[in-house]
Amino acid sequence: MEVVAVVISALSLLVAGLGTYQANKRANDALAASHKAAADARWSAVQEAVQRLIGFDPAAEPVGERLQNLRIAMISLVDQLEGWDGIDAWLDAERTLGATLADQVLAASRSDDTVEQRVRNLDPLMSWAHVLSQNLRRFRSTGHNAAAPAALRANAEEFVRAVCEQNGWGPPPSTNPRIQPLS
């Protein structure tokens, strides 16, 4: 009788251990899935904000809200990417480039523009948004590449300088002297 009780106790312990293992495995899988879903939502929000700039005409409606949505989505994404050094500075440079290209569209637009002229004016802004979308998709699918954000940032900053120079504008400020990093 004592042997039967020991065997039943051992089996009960084994079943409880297996049940606990399975429950923990399922909980960990669910946690990983929820983290992935949250990350996917942040990447999707950035893509949505970029897509809203493709085919957009700043001469027809204000660009401010679209650029604000882009900045908010980018900040949300960057705040959750651990170990992705440099992506914040790259995305900020891209947002600055988008705003600069929108200004260029506004400066070039005239009320009597033909459809062809309007499309030519919009091309740099639309092309920028397409390339940004492709780069974001690549990062999302391949993961962080330590060298890429710095190269992309330098490219965006150089493009901003070229657009400003081409239009006779002064370069946008690269820093805000009123904002100081926390020590």
CA 156/CA 178 separation, integer angstroms:
24
Q: Kindly report whether the global pTM for this prediction surpasses the value 0.75.
A: yes
Q: How far is CA 138 from CA 26, 63, 133, 134, 143, in A?
A: 30, 26, 9, 6, 8
User: Across the chain, where does the E strand assignment appear?
Assistant: none
CA–CA separation, 175 vs 159, rounded Å?
A: 17
Q: What is the mean pLDDT of each run of 10 residues along the chain (183 residues)?
A: 79 81 76 70 93 92 94 94 92 95 94 93 96 95 91 96 94 72 69
Domains in the chain: boundaries: 39-167
Which residues fall within 8 angstroms of residue 93, CB to CB, at 6 or more apart?
152, 153, 156, 157, 160
